[in-house]
Structure 1
Amino acid sequence: MASGFSFGSASSASNPTQGDISKDATLQNGPEDSISDLAWAPVTNHLAVASWDKKVRIYEIDDNTGQGVGKAAFDHEGPVLSCAWFQDGTKVVGGGADKAARVLDLGSNGAPAMQVAAHDQPIRCVKMYNDGRNDILITGSWDKTIKYWDFRSQQPAATLQLQERCYTMDRRNQLLVVGTADRYINVINLEKPTEMYKTIQSPLKWQTRVVSCFTDASGFAVGSIEGRCAIQYVEEKDSSLNFSFKCHRDTDTTQRDVSKVYSVNAISFHPEHGTFSTAGSDGTFHFWDKDAKHRLKGYPNVGGSITATGFNGKGDLFAYAVSYDWSKGYAGNSPQYPTKICLHKIIGDECKPRPGGKKR
């Protein structure tokens, strides 16, 4: 694995690739506690937001202004740790610390969310998948299992045992990637959902925070607590393209060769260009071109840790959640800490690959 590529400092204010957040819009009536996840509807500009205040909120976003209007919400019995949309955009699912997954049908005229899945421990991640016939809910839990649910039964259609607790999960087409405690990364082909296609130890040396699949499902990115990101391809024939790089680090001006290291909390791939974002505990987000090994844009500090991100279906809006991420423990939190969802309009070439770079 090559690791000598330098994307440049991810926090240099003098860098000519510095982006602008002055026109970013903040959603009104946002969550009242830390934001754990957000998810865009597949086609429309609706945004689902999961938070520690035990709610999933759904907003309708104006494509031109970035302003949002609350359209619906549903409750869990504990902090909600993940949310996802059905592929037709009619329903939203949440999974949380109450060990349950619940679905809200947005066309149900006010009917409450229904519980559709259960685990022995909190559900950390939820993703939706359509196998060509049915909608399948995939749940990843701290009980060290992945479960698949087809909604025609109260029991899971299948269960896959993990080595450790599920910390992060992403799906693109038939590719499912699951990151667990102890730095295991499991690659699953959803055509054979009860088998591990491949298991690796993370190329990063510290705890995995996030995995995110490439737009073309040929690989995935991994982010960790040590301010590093790894690019990994699924197939061995592409392994020469694997590499890792430093990001979300600040040079300590008082001590030479000392860096402040921040967790990479979120990685999102642009739906059209295949470029990607990283966001972290340092309160910054950045856009990257993995094929050209180049940072496209870096953005100023947003005033608090960024805990979740996502591009909408057209790729012209980038949502990011600002809230406390507990990276500094209980003592780092305060009533004044910002909790908000912001929307950044993608303008010009902000997310376009460098000329000559291979599109993935």
Structure 2
Amino acid sequence: MSNQYEVSEPPTDAISAIRFSPYADSHKFVVASWDKFAYLYEISDNKQCTLLNRFEHRAPVLDACFGKDDNEIFTACLDCDVRRIDVATSTQDVLSTHDAGVRSVAYSKEHSLLISAAWDSTLHIHPTSADAEWSTATITLPSKPFSLSMSPSKLVVAMSNRALHIYELSTLAEECKNTANALQNRLDIEPWQRRESSLKFMTRAVDCMPNDEGYASSSIEGRVAVEWFDPSTESQARKYAFKCHRQPEGEVDVVYPVNAIAFHPIHGTFATGGGDGVVAIWDAIAKRRIRIYPKLASSIAAMSFTSNGKILATAISPGFEDGKEDMAEGSVAILIRELGENEVKRKAK
């Protein structure tokens, strides 16, 4: 059986993102919060979670991720800045400034690219290698981006109006090099695929499969869609959507937004977190739920697995689904769950 414990020094305001280091044997994770800080924690072997540092910003931090190693963190801020943090020295550098708040950042170690998405309906493509011969490039999107996710070869951008763009990272990297001297480095690049979400309502989150084959997306209306990149008719026929995160109250089901999706890095199963305070584990291939965990004190805000898949971190914050706007004691928290051997594994047929 698994066991779960709470992080002792959580943020003081709503949590917008949580991300474990993707590097082997690392138990460090970064948390973005509306209290204007990015937090760096580490889990030790004796089940202690230590706050290593916190990095102040000028406005709420909406997303954060690790860069080339655990010493490099990138943040997305409501003040329009994309920042690089050097953990060893606590110094911050502004990589670029959008024209509106920055919603998401994602780093590709395969291509040494940092990509930010902002509410000005642009992507900024940042080179992160020291020998890069080009500076930040900009891609204009057709609508406002809500969520970003990367697989080893693809970037998925989920936007308003149920639009999804899929880019090939190798193409982005090549186009950026080719247009190094273009006017303002604006790229007129077509996505590899344009899709309309299978979900009828606004997209809340997207996460890519670790095997580079597809992605899952969620909506504000308690549904999740699972799709594959392969554009062939046969592969597209496999896509499906399902209802989840609905709680019976009397004779009706109350529907909650699915705020977070996280694929397990080893087993290819995935976790969803809802406004109902519940985390569920799903088998994407068998199309069934594997497990549901006890309801937590408030809405699930974000989730992340360690690179070895043995720990799941869950951030909770008030989602105000109940109409109350006060922040109750214990409603902002980070829960660390040590996973049992078969807890998130696909079940044999």
Q: CA deviation at 1:161?
A: 1.2
- Indicate the residue corresponding to 2:186 in structure 1: none
CA distance in 2, matches of 1:63, 1:82: 27
CA distance in 2, matches of 1:89, 1:218: 27
Is the counterpart of residue 150 in structure 1 residue 150 in structure 2? no
Structure 1, gaps ≥5 residues long: 1-19
Is the CA contact 1:55–1:73 (under 8 Å) kept in the aligned structure 2? yes
Is the counterpart of residue 199 in structure 1 residue 179 in structure 2? no
| Structure 2 counterparts to residues 314-333 of structure 1, below 5 A | 314-327=308-321, 331-333=324-326
Q: CA deviation at 1:252?
A: 2.6
Q: Which residue, 11, 16, 23 being the options, matches 1:31? A: 11
Q: Residue 350 of structure 1 aligns to which amino acid in structure 2? A: E
Is the CA contact 1:178–1:185 (under 8 Å) kept in the aligned structure 2? yes
Q: Which residue, 39, 43, 50 being the options, matches 2:32? A: 50
Q: CA deviation at 1:136?
A: 1.8
Q: CA deviation at 1:334?
A: 3.2
Q: Residue 238 of structure 2 aligns to which amino acid in structure 1? A: L
State the secondary structure of the residue aligned to 1:149. Answer: strand
Q: Residue 312 of structure 1 aligns to which amino acid in structure 2? A: T
- Partner deviation per Cα, 1:304-353 (whole Å, 9 max, x = no partner): 10100010011000000011124456x44334361110101110211111
- Partner deviation per Cα, 1:202-224 (whole Å, 9 max, x = no partner): 11000100010011121100100
CA distance in 1, matches of 2:45, 2:162: 38
Aligned identity (percent) is 31
Moved over 6 A (4+): none
CA distance in 2, matches of 1:72, 1:101: 19
Q: Residue 41 of structure 2 aligns to which amino acid in structure 1? A: Y
CA distance in 1, matches of 2:197, 2:322: 24
Is the CA contact 2:103–2:117 (under 8 Å) kept in the aligned structure 1? yes
Q: Residue 208 of structure 1 aligns to which amino acid in structure 2? A: T
Query: Relative CO higher for 1 or 2, CA cutoff 8 Å, sep ≥ 6?
Result: 1
- Indicate the residue corresponding to 2:214 in structure 1: 219
State the secondary structure of the residue aligned to 1:319. Answer: strand
Is the CA contact 2:298–2:319 (under 8 Å) kept in the aligned structure 1? no
User: Please, which moves more after superposition, 230-239 or 302-311?
Assistant: 230-239
- Indicate the residue corresponding to 2:327 in structure 1: 334
CA distance in 1, matches of 2:58, 2:274: 28
State the secondary structure of the residue aligned to 1:334. Answer: coil
Q: CA deviation at 1:87?
A: 3.2
Is the counterpart of residue 137 in structure 1 residue 137 in structure 2? no
- Provide TM-score, normalisation by structure 2: 0.89
CA distance in 2, matches of 1:39, 1:312: 9
User: Please, which moves more after superposition, 317-326 or 118-127?
Assistant: 317-326
Q: CA deviation at 1:130?
A: 3.3
State the secondary structure of the residue aligned to 1:241. Answer: coil
- Partner deviation per Cα, 1:86-106 (whole Å, 9 max, x = no partner): 132221111110100112112
- Partner deviation per Cα, 1:227-250 (whole Å, 9 max, x = no partner): 000001111221111000010001
Is the CA contact 1:42–1:87 (under 8 Å) kept in the aligned structure 2? no
Is the CA contact 2:303–2:315 (under 8 Å) kept in the aligned structure 1? yes
Q: Residue 213 of structure 2 aligns to which amino acid in structure 1? A: S
| Structure 2 counterparts to residues 258-277 of structure 1, below 5 A | 258-277=252-271
Q: Which residue, 205, 227, 232 being the options, matches 2:227? A: 232
Is the CA contact 2:21–2:29 (under 8 Å) kept in the aligned structure 1? yes
| Structure 2 counterparts to residues 21-170 of structure 1, below 5 A | 23-43=3-23, 44-65=26-47, 67-108=48-89, 111-132=90-111, 135-151=112-128, 156-170=135-149
CA distance in 2, matches of 1:296, 1:157: 43
Distance 1:210 1:91, change over 3 A: same
CA distance in 2, matches of 1:150, 1:326: 38
Is the CA contact 1:277–1:288 (under 8 Å) kept in the aligned structure 2? yes
- Indicate the residue corresponding to 2:150 in structure 1: 171
Q: Residue 53 of structure 1 aligns to which amino acid in structure 2? A: D
Structure 2, gaps ≥5 residues long: 173-188
- Indicate the residue corresponding to 1:350 in structure 2: 343
Q: Which residue, 274, 279, 282 being the options, matches 1:288? A: 282
How many aligned positions are there? 327
Is the CA contact 1:223–1:264 (under 8 Å) kept in the aligned structure 2? yes
Q: CA deviation at 1:112?
A: 2.4
CA distance in 1, matches of 2:120, 2:45: 40
- Provide TM-score, normalisation by structure 1: 0.86
Q: Residue 323 of structure 1 aligns to which amino acid in structure 2? A: S
Q: Residue 140 of structure 2 aligns to which amino acid in structure 1? A: Q
Is the CA contact 1:124–1:140 (under 8 Å) kept in the aligned structure 2? yes
CA distance in 2, matches of 1:172, 1:37: 18
CA distance in 1, matches of 2:154, 2:46: 33
Is the CA contact 2:110–2:152 (under 8 Å) kept in the aligned structure 1? no
Distance 1:156 1:139, change over 3 A: farther
